[in-house]
Amino acid sequence: MKIKEGEQLPNSEFYYLDSSGAAKKITTAEVFKNHKTIVIGVPGAFTKVCSAKHLPGYVNNYEEAKNKGITKIICVSVNDPNVMKAWGDSQKVEDKIFMAADPYCEFTKSIGAEIDRHDRGQGMRSARYTMLIDNNVVKKIQAEEDTATCEISAAQNFLKLI
């Protein structure tokens, strides 16, 4: 990953579905301002490791994160907002995790987490990582060597670091 601990996040945009089902944009500056946030970066919604371990780990450890002062948890994937909403619903994230779509890979590229998966028919994807962001500044990053694993970025391991 290009971004390092201590650096400010570059401004980019996320997309999400509002309560009426309309796609909306929000800047990363708006999302992270005055919040202590965990960002879960995943290669894709509905993928095996993301659905079995990465996202559910943060759903299941939501209270522990809140007890450590976390005010937001955001899951980011290079998918469209409809897919992110459907995945969040299937994982029962409710209001615990903000499902942020990065459909054009802009945020992912801005932090240097993009992975080219054209050879697999998937296009551009994200590395698997977890970051702690405090008021738009990166405090901690745990990025996996391989997107097929979820160890150092898993909730139970990442929460021990904060």
| Active site residue ranges | 50
Residue 67's SS3 state is helix
In the 8-state DSSP scheme, what is residue 8?
Answer: B
Q: Identify any residues that bridge with 115 across adjacent strands, giving them in sequence order.
A: 125
Question: What residue spans of the chain are helical by DSSP H?
Answer: 28-32, 48-49, 55-60, 62-67, 81-90, 106-110, 155-158
Q: Is the dihedral of CA 141, 147, 151, 153 positive or negative?
A: positive
- CA dihedral defined by 123, 152, 67, 28, rounded to 10 degrees? -30
Distance CA 1, CA 100 (A): 19
Distance CA 10, CA 1 (A): 13
